[in-house]
């Protein structure tokens, strides 16, 4: 019992024959090999699986690949343009916004989506935007600073990382 | 990671199509809206529908609008939309209060109003809100449309009047002039379900008498998520802080909380009173136009 | 040259030169080298390892805390079309693998044969073609259990009628594991019996918690049937120790085992032990001839792997009426779960808990720890605890605050009065530790100043007056803690795990063009080793850090060592890196002398070059020397070519980082809700190789402290069901509970570490819970609250206000 699903991932159309029960996170990781999206729980609590679904952060462990059919998905692998890091990625680098790196893709995508609707968020607004993803390493402070860094450096020209 | 058992997937193209699919597949079929209650339960294998009918394409169920004397909200409206709606902020800030503390921003991007109240989790927040506001739930089947008051919608934990071949399509809330509303919640941590929560609305006449009031409570075993004795103690009486405190005590007395890791029953009963008191005070300030 | 003839404390005093790439050639803020891959989603974590033909394993686990297994029927699971193998304890028993040794010389079932002894215990292992099918097949295994009464409350584990858990141990008739003593009981009695002393008593529980890194544990095992080589990718903080344990458990030749720790999504001690699932994956690959991946789900991680704490500490503290602390003693009950599987140095069954005298100069101290089996998951030492210093620091800092409460004394003043004085270092504690260095008063003062302590106390006076009048609003609480940790185990003569001495190797290779590769025995889980260790080499040799590649986490590529935990990377491997660099430097001197046609003693070192004393123009840079060392240059008799070197560092003592923390909370007595308003942390870990990374480590630990103090707990109901088995119930702090951390630093080098550095990875986890709890207790003092156990959830705070705080290790009643 399989079905065909087609979606756009990081701007490219992908199509696979899948079981309807396949979770989006496993579709991305196991079917198309984009392992930058992680998972960390079974109860939709941890948020390390966040991807952008039509530009909006969503927990990819709580969306069926089938439900994502026809939609646009962006993962961490789609953040850098050409060789240029997204300002959010550069901010995480500059401000030590990551340690083990496991929550980082989710945090960065959430930040990217935040800055698209609110280019100059306060630290409180940042904290309110990211609390759906848990980080065990950083204590959040440097993540907040990283997102502020990105807000202050919106148009980055060069790759430095 | 835990994974769901196999099932079939259908994507509905319209409400009629969804209803037809429900009829065709029978009681083992379930609709999936945001999926943020259903999919975790399926992963943990606490739920195992044979067919999932995806209603996310039903954009015509995603709206918040003023419709005559009511605000009409489509069942597929996401939490995030309820949180940011200017219409709701103007008429019923209780929604904003509640939505700020429902789950987390990522869950709120997917979870829907319809899914929340149909899940009927005994700690669910919007059920307390609809109950407080005396909302009307609009349910459709291939037979037609029927409406049920929010206070008759839930028949028990995880149970509602919505039949296996029916879909909740809309929630209607009457617009009330000179109204204040508010929601208060205690959780163990941001994003956690309520230890206890409650909300209310109040309308006053110019003399300061309570013309109407609704109180909703969640996670405390309040039958139908409401507190009618407390409402009766206020309705038709002049508002005062003493009256609020007395009503809050009545609200607490009518609860029947369960002890769990969120807290013992007596604590939750205390909270029911404390939060009712705080919500009423804040609603009063808003009803008087004295604060947000 | 040995570790002992290296010069001490070369603390950089002026800013170091920068490399062409803009990195400090030595100590200083440097952006992390490892970030490049993580930022792009190109990390390689365990679940990212995919091999051709790989199968997926899943573990069937016990739903009961204590039950006899009557039978297991695997036929339906075996018949599943995608299942390749179903392994039970019975199968393992035929291979002599049903039980494995723990890191505390106990045994632990790999797959249960006779009984299950905790909820979630491993019962059967299914190997299938994909992960979904493996999960499906678990539902097809039928187990007939006979449920037995469970031992849940540790305080009842030694009751005469308590069911015996370890019936597998011959002659075992109770649940006792060990009694362990430290300090001088008689000396303590003498102090406590003095007529004029004030004695404060308290029962303090540090409840069971779990490190729960965002990445769960897992393994990919692949046996090459042709070469007989077993390669295991494991979420391991100690790959070399794992390799040796595998060799011992499975009887495989150690040179045919390669353990690879890929990128690790957080460890915190959770990834030190060897878990049954790892062994199952190995058996799975042997049985099927295919690579087998096993990856825990979150329930498995929280409910079955290395938990932390679970210490019930009865304490008594004696002081003079004017606040001179004289003695401290404890009888502690340690709940070890169903198997004694704590990973800690052999001679320290209670870890380093005996450091419970903390940062104070006492006349006497005595501690006794009684450890018991219960029907709970095994573990004990995990979660950034520095081998139970977390429990010790929490204990003493609560006792000191309770004493302050009873004496009606300001807790800052009480600490100031009793902290060890700078002139007392090296300080011998009453329980046998030698603290290497410290200047405690300065550090405490730095925290008080940064916090504005006086102003906060003044605000509190007003706050309390307002509350008393109105009965509404929040109460302000101010909590202090001062901790001392001992980190960086060994020395090897005192410290070993399973007989493996705690010393660590390091190899440094300098390529002809002056680029370097350093190979470490320790493994990063986010601490930034690839950057910090490059900086150590840069500091010693003057190489740009971008020219130094750091290799770690692969036993075929790196020298033996015990791994990363207990904050030991910098104290042990960091020292090894300095020592090995100095060996290279000495070799380079000989080569440079040959090239400059002078005697090595004519040369002096200037960062990155050997130059002739008095004639700095005549010099060879380290890069030039590297090429010369590989060239046809004639070297003196007996001098080999190349610059490569290796070292094993056996630390002479632990390093003793310390710090002073202050937490400000606002407590809502109407709801019990606690809001952390501010957190000020002054840490002294000696010189900071990369201050950015050090601060990041502290930030993370402070968040953990908030978690433990306010929300995280693994409690059990009366049947032994785990009540913290998901992130819905086991609550991790989010960005909203954590304040913007305010950090200060003082710098007191370790006199025995080649770089003066002390460990810092766990300092904040050790020091912060007490500050938070002390703050909440301080807030509630006007309501008559003296002590309540963690976590201080809203319910627990409210119960404390009602005068009946709960036992947080058990279900609420
Ligand atoms: C981490 C996390 C934290 C959460 N915290 C909170 C919280 O604090 N407070 C709170 O109230 N909620 C909380 N939730 C629940 C969240 O609000 C969910 O979004 C909501 O409960 C379900 O909405 P959904 O659209 O996802 O429903 P789904 O999961 O899609 O459906 C839930 C149920 O309703 C049925 N259903 C859905 N739509 C309809 C319809 N239109 N007609 C008939 N039946 C329908 C489905 O068949 C299913 O049985 C949390 C969820 C998560 C994952
Ligand atoms: S994996 Fe935890 S929320 Fe998706
Ligand atoms: S960086 Fe490790 S979990 Fe966030």
> What's the pLDDT tens digit per position in B203-212?
999 999 999 9
Question: Looking at the domain assignment, is residue B99 inside a domain?
Answer: yes
> Both B70 and B165 in a single domain?
yes
Question: Looking at the domain assignment, is residue B2 inside a domain?
Answer: no
The chains found to touch A (3+ Cβ pairs under 8 angstroms) are B, C
Superfamily per CATH, domain A3-78: Beta-grasp domain (3.10.20.30)
For residue A44, what pLDDT band results from cuts at 50, 70 and 90?
very high
pLDDT in tens, C181-192: 999 999 999 999
For residue C321, what pLDDT band results from cuts at 50, 70 and 90?
very high
Kindly give the distance from the C-alpha atom of residue A135 to the centroid of ligand 3, in angstroms, as a whole number. 5
Angle of CA points C720, C721, C723, to nearest 5°: 125
pLDDT in tens, B239-292: 999 999 999 999 999 999 999 999 999 999 999 999 999 999 999 999 999 887
> Both B128 and B76 in a single domain?
yes
Atom 21 in ligand 1: residue holding the nearest Cα: B116
Burial of C63 (0-12, 13-18, 19+ CB in 10 A): middle
Nearest chain C residue (CA) to B5: C136
Question: Looking at the domain assignment, is residue B25 inside a domain?
Answer: yes
Q: Report whether residue B88 contacts ligand 1, using a CB cutoff of 6 Å.
A: no
Cα C581 from Cα C587, distance rounded (Å): 10
Residue C420 has pLDDT above 90, yes or no: yes
Domain's final residue, options B144, B174, B204: B174
User: How many CB pairs lie under 8 A apart between chains B and C?
Assistant: 69
Smallest CA–CA distance, residue C219 to chain A, in Å, is 16
> Both B162 and B253 in a single domain?
no
Q: Report whether residue B36 contacts ligand 1, using a CB cutoff of 6 Å.
A: yes
Which ligand is closest in space to the CA of residue A37?
A: 2
Strands, E assignment, A10-99: 12-18, 50-53, 56-59, 72-74
Beta bridge partners of C480: C662
Kindly give the distance from the C-alpha atom of residue A62 to the centroid of ligand 2, in angstroms, as a whole number. 7
> Both B168 and B229 in a single domain?
no
Q: Quickly list H helices, chain B.
A: 15-25, 38-43, 79-84, 86-91, 93-100, 105-110, 113-119, 125-133, 150-153, 228-234, 241-253, 265-287
How is chain B split among helix, strand and coil, in percent rounded to 5?
A: 40, 30, 35
Domain harbouring B103, CATH code = 3.30.465.10
Question: Looking at the domain assignment, is residue B249 inside a domain?
Answer: yes
Residue C10 has pLDDT above 80, yes or no: no
State whether B188 and C794 contact (CB < 8 Å): yes
pLDDT of residue C380: 80
- C273 by DSSP, 3-state: which? coil
Atom of ligand 3 nearest to the CA of C213: 3
Lay out the sheet containing C325-335: strands in order across.
C176-183, C364-372, C325-335, C311-319, C198-206
Q: What is the mean pLDDT of residues A50-67?
A: 98
ipTM of the complex: 0.98
Q: Which residue out of A37, A85, A140, A143 would a mutagenesis test of the C interface target, given it has the greatest number of C Cβ atoms within 10 Å?
A: A140
- Which of A23, A39, A103 most suits a substitution to test ligand 2, by most atoms within 8 Å of the C-beta? A39
For residue C12, what pLDDT band results from cuts at 50, 70 and 90?
low
> Both B189 and B240 in a single domain?
yes
In which domain, by residue range, is B247 found? 179-287
pLDDT of residue C7: 39
| Per-residue b or e along A66-104, where b marks 16 or more CB atoms closer than 10 Å to that residue's CB | bbbbebbbbbbbbbbeeeebbbbbbbbbbbbbbbbbbbb
- C626 by DSSP, 3-state: which? helix
State whether C812 and B1 contact (CB < 8 Å): no
State whether B3 and C139 contact (CB < 8 Å): no
Question: Looking at the domain assignment, is residue B3 inside a domain?
Answer: no
Asked if residues A131 and B105 have their Cβ atoms less than 8 Å apart, the reply is: yes
Asked if residues C699 and A138 have their Cβ atoms less than 8 Å apart, the reply is: yes
Question: Looking at the domain assignment, is residue B1 inside a domain?
Answer: no
State whether A62 and B105 contact (CB < 8 Å): no
Percent of chain C past pLDDT 90, that is, above it, reads 93
For residue B51, what pLDDT band results from cuts at 50, 70 and 90?
very high
State which H helix or E strand residue A5 sits in: strand A3-9
State whether C795 and B267 contact (CB < 8 Å): yes
Q: Report whether residue B199 contacts ligand 1, using a CB cutoff of 6 Å.
A: no
Kindly give the distance from the C-alpha atom of residue B244 to the centroid of ligand 2, in angstroms, as a whole number. 42
Alpha carbons within 13 A on the beta-carbon side of B255:
32
Atom of ligand 3 nearest to the CA of A100: 2
Question: Looking at the domain assignment, is residue B164 inside a domain?
Answer: yes
| Sequence ranges of the domains in chain A | 3-78, 87-154
Residue C4 has pLDDT above 50, yes or no: no
pLDDT of residue A156: 54
Which chain C residues touch B193 with a CB distance below 8 Å?
728
For residue C677, what pLDDT band results from cuts at 50, 70 and 90?
very high
> Both B103 and B28 in a single domain?
no
Percent of chain C past pLDDT 70, that is, above it, reads 98
Provide the mean pLDDT of chain C.
96
Residue B182 has pLDDT above 50, yes or no: yes
Looking at domain A87-154, its CATH class is mainly alpha
Q: Which two tokens stand for residue C609?
A: 């070059």
Q: What is the mean pLDDT of residues C237-248?
A: 92
State which H helix or E strand residue C765 sits in: helix C763-780
Q: Report whether residue B103 contacts ligand 1, using a CB cutoff of 6 Å.
A: yes
Domain harbouring B278, CATH code = 3.30.390.50
- Which of C271, C526, C732 most suits a substitution to test ligand 3, by most atoms within 8 Å of the C-beta? C526
Smallest CA–CA distance, residue B49 to chain A, in Å, is 11
Kindly give the distance from the C-alpha atom of residue B153 to the centroid of ligand 1, in angstroms, as a whole number. 16
> Both B217 and B153 in a single domain?
no
CA distances from C36 to A93, A95, A134, C490, C581 (A): 8, 14, 22, 34, 26
Q: What is the mean pLDDT of residues B163-170?
A: 97
> Within its chain, how far is the Cα of B198 from the centroid?
11
pLDDT of residue B91: 97
pLDDT of residue C567: 86
Domain's final residue, options B151, B174, B197: B174
Q: Please identify among residues 25-84 of chain A the ones whose CB lies closer than 8 Å to any CB of chain B.
A: 25-26, 39, 41-45, 47, 50, 53, 56-59, 61-64, 66-67, 69
State whether C726 and A41 contact (CB < 8 Å): yes
Output phi, psi for C430, to 5 deg. Answer: -75, -5
pLDDT in tens, C25-43: 999 999 999 999 999 999 9
Q: What is the mean pLDDT of residues C706-718?
A: 98
Nearest chain A residue (CA) to B41: A43
Question: Looking at the domain assignment, is residue B292 inside a domain?
Answer: no
Smallest CA–CA distance, residue B262 to chain C, in Å, is 7
Q: Please identify among residues 101-140 of chain C the ones whose CB lies closer than 8 Å to any CB of chain A.
A: 131-132
Could you tell me whether strands B159-160 and B154-156 are parallel, antiparallel, or unpaired per DSSP bridges? antiparallel
Kindly give the distance from the C-alpha atom of residue A1 to the centroid of ligand 2, in angstroms, as a whole number. 26
Residue C6 has pLDDT above 50, yes or no: no
Smallest CA–CA distance, residue B216 to chain A, in Å, is 26
Placement of tokens 């960086």 in the chain: C488
For residue C250, what pLDDT band results from cuts at 50, 70 and 90?
confident
Output phi, psi for B108, to 5 deg. Answer: -65, -20
Q: Can you give the pTM of this predicted structure?
A: 0.97
- B273 by DSSP, 3-state: which? helix
State whether B106 and A64 contact (CB < 8 Å): no
pLDDT in tens, C679-693: 999 999 999 999 999
pLDDT of residue C382: 84
Closest CB from A21, A26, A57 relative to B106: A57
Instruction: Name residues contacting ligand 3 (CB within 6 A).
Output: A 98-104, 135-138; C 214, 266, 526
pLDDT in tens, B77-98: 999 999 999 999 999 999 999 9
Domains in chain B: how many in total? 3
> Both B191 and B138 in a single domain?
no
Residue A158 has pLDDT above 50, yes or no: no
Percent of chain B past pLDDT 90, that is, above it, reads 99
Cα B42 from Cα B5, distance rounded (Å): 7
> Both B67 and B110 in a single domain?
yes
CA dihedral B235, B241, B247, B248 (to 10 degrees): 140
Atom 4 in ligand 3: residue holding the nearest Cα: A135
Atom of ligand 2 nearest to the CA of C727: 2
Residue B163 has pLDDT above 80, yes or no: yes
Which ligand is closest in space to the CA of residue C212?
A: 3
Residue C3 has pLDDT above 80, yes or no: no
Cα C657 from Cα C55, distance rounded (Å): 46
Domain harbouring B34, CATH code = 3.30.43.10
């Amino acid at each position: 019992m399989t079905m065909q699903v087609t979606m756009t991932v990081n701007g490219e159309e992908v199509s696979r024959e899948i079981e309807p029960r396949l979770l989006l996170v496993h579709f991305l990781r196991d079917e198309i090999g984009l392992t930058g999206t992680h998972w960390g729980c079974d109860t939709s609590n941890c948020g390390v699986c966040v991807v952008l679904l039509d530009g909006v952060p969503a927990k990819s462990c709580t969306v069926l690949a089938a439900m994502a059919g026809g939609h646009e998905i962006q993962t961490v692998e789609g953040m850098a343009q050409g060789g240029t890091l997204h300002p959010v990625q550069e901010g995480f680098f500059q401000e030590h916004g990551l340690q083990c790196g496991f929550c980082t893709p989710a945090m960065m995508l959430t930040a990217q989506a935040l800055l698209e609707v609110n280019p100059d968020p306060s630290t409180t607004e940042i904290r309110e935007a990211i609390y759906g993803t848990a980080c065990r390493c950083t204590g959040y402070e440097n993540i907040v600073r990283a997102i502020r860094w990105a807000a202050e450096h919106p148009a980055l020209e060069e790759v430095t990382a | 990671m835990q994974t769901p058992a196999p099932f079939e997937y259908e994507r509905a193209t319209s409400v009629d199509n969804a209803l037809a699919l429900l009829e065709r597949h029978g009681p083992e079929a379930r609709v999936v809206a945001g999926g943020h209650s259903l999919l975790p339960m399926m992963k943990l294998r606490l739920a195992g529908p044979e067919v999932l009918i995806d209603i996310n394409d039903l954009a015509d169920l995603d709206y918040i609008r003023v419709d005559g004397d009511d605000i009409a909200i489509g069942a597929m409206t996401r939490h995030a939309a309820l949180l940011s709606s200017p219409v709701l902020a103007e008429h019923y800030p209780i929604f904003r209060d509640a939505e700020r503390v429902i789950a987390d921003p990522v869950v709120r991007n997917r979870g829907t109003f319809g899914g929340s109240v149909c899940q009927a989790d005994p700690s669910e927040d919007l059920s307390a809100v609809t109950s407080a506001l005396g909302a009307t739930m609009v349910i459709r089947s291939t037979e037609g449309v029927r409406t049920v008051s929010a206070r008759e919608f839930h028949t028990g934990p995880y149970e509602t009047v919505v039949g296996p071949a029916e879909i909740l399509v809309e929630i209607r809330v009457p617009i009330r002039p000179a109204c204040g509303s508010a929601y208060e919640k205690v959780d163990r941590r941001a994003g956690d379900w309520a230890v206890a929560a409650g909300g209310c609305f109040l309308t006053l006449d110019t003399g300061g008498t309570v013309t109407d009031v609704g109180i909703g409570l969640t996670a405390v075993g309040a039958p139908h998520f409401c507190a009618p004795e407390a409402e009766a103690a206020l309705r038709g009486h002049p508002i005062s802080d003493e009256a609020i405190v007395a009503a809050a005590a009545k609200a607490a007395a009518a609860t029947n909380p369960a002890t769990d890791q969120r807290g013992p029953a007596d604590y939750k009963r205390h909270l029911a009173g404390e939060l009712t008191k705080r919500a009423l005070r804040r609603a009063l300030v808003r009803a008087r136009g004295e604060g947000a | 040259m040995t570790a002992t003839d290296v010069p001490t404390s070369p603390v950089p005093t002026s800013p170091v030169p920068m490399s062409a790439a803009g990195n400090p050639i030595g100590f200083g803020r440097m952006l992390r080298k490892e970030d490049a891959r993580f930022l792009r989603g190109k990390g390689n974590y365990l679940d990212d390892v995919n091999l051709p033909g790989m199968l997926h394993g899943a573990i069937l686990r016990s739903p009961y805390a204590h039950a006899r297994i009557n039978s297991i029927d695997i036929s339906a699971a075996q018949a599943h079309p995608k299942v390749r193998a179903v392994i039970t304890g019975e199968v393992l028993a035929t291979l002599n693998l049903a039980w494995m040794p723990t890191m505390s010389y106990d045994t632990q079932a790999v797959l249960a044969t006779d009984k299950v002894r905790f909820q979630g215990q491993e019962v059967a292992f299914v190997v299938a073609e994909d992960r979904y099918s493996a999960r499906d097949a678990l539902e097809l295994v039928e187990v007939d259990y006979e449920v037995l009464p469970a031992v849940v409350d540790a305080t009842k584990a030694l009751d005469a009628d308590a069911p015996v858990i370890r019936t597998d141990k011959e002659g075992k008739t109770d649940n006792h594991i060990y009694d362990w003593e430290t300090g001088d009981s008689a000396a303590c009695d003498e102090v406590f019996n003095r007529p004029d002393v004030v004695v404060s008593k308290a029962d303090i529980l540090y409840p069971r918690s779990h490190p729960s890194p965002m990445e769960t544990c897992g393994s990919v095992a692949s046996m090459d049937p042709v070469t007989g080589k077993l390669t295991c990718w494991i979420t391991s903080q100690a790959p070399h120790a794992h390799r040796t344990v595998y060799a011992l458990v499975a009887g495989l030749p150690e040179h045919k085992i390669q353990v690879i720790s890929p990128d690790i999504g957080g460890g915190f001690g959770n990834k030190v032990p060897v878990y049954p699932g790892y062994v199952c994956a190995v058996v799975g690959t042997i049985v099927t001839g295919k690579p087998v991946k096993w990856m825990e789900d979150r329930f498995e991680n929280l409910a079955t792997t290395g938990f932390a704490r679970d210490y019930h500490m009865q304490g008594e503290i004696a002081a003079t009426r004017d606040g001179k602390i004289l003695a401290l003693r404890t009888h502690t009950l340690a709940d070890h779960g169903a198997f004694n599987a704590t990973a800690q140095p052999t001679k320290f069954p209670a870890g380093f808990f005996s450091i419970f005298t903390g940062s104070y100069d006492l006349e006497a101290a005595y501690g006794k720890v009684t450890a018991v089996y219960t029907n709970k998951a095994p573990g004990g030492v995990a979660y950034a605890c520095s081998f139970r210093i977390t429990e010790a620091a929490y204990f003493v800092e609560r006792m000191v605050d309770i004493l302050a409460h009873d004496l009606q004394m300001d807790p800052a003043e009480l600490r100031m009065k009793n902290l060890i004085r700078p002139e007392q270092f090296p300080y011998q504690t009453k329980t046998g530790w030698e603290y290497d260095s410290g200047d405690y008063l300065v550090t405490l003062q730095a925290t008080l100043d940064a916090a504005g302590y006086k102003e906060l106390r003044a605000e509190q006076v007003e706050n309390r007056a307002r509350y008393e009048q109105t009965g509404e609003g929040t109460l302000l609480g101010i909590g202090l803690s001062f901790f001392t940790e001992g980190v960086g185990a060994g020395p090897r003569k005192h410290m070993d795990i399973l007989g493996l001495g705690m010393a660590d190797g390091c190899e440094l290779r300098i390529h002809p063009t002056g680029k370097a590769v350093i190979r470490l025995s320790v493994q990063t889980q986010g601490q930034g080793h690839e950057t910090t260790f490059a900086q150590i080499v840069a500091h010693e040799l003057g190489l740009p850090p971008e020219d130094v590649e750091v290799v770690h986490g692969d036993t075929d590529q790196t020298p033996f060592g015990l791994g990363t935990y207990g904050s030991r990377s910098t104290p042990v491997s960091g020292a090894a890196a300095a020592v090995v660099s100095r060996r290279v430097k000495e070799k380079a001197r000989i080569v440079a002398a040959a090239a400059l046609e002078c005697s090595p003693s004519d040369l002096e070192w200037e960062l990155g070059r050997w130059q002739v004393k008095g004639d700095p123009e005549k010099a060879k840079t380290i890069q030039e020397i590297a090429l010369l060392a590989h060239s046809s240059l004639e070297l003196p008799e007996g001098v080999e070519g190349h610059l490569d070197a290796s070292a094993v560092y056996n630390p002479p003592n632990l390093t003793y980082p310390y710090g002073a923390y202050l937490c400000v909370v606002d407590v809502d007595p109407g709801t019990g809700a606690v809001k952390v308003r501010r957190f000020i942390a002054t840490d002294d870990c000696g010189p900071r190789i990369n201050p950015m990374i050090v601060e990041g480590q502290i930030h993370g630990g402070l968040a953990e402290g908030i978690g433990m103090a306010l929300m995280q707990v693994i409690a059990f109901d009366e049947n032994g069901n785990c009540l913290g088995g998901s992130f819905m119930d086991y609550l991790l702090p989010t960005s909203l509970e954590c304040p913007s951390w305010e950090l200060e630093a003082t710098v007191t080098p370790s006199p025995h570490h080649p770089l003066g550095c002390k460990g810092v990875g766990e300092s904040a986890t050790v020091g912060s819970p007490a500050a938070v709890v002390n703050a909440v207790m301080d807030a509630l003092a006007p309501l008559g609250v003296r002590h309540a156990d963690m976590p201080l959830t809203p319910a627990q705070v409210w119960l404390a206000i009602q005068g009946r705080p709960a036992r947080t290790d058990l279900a609420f009643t």
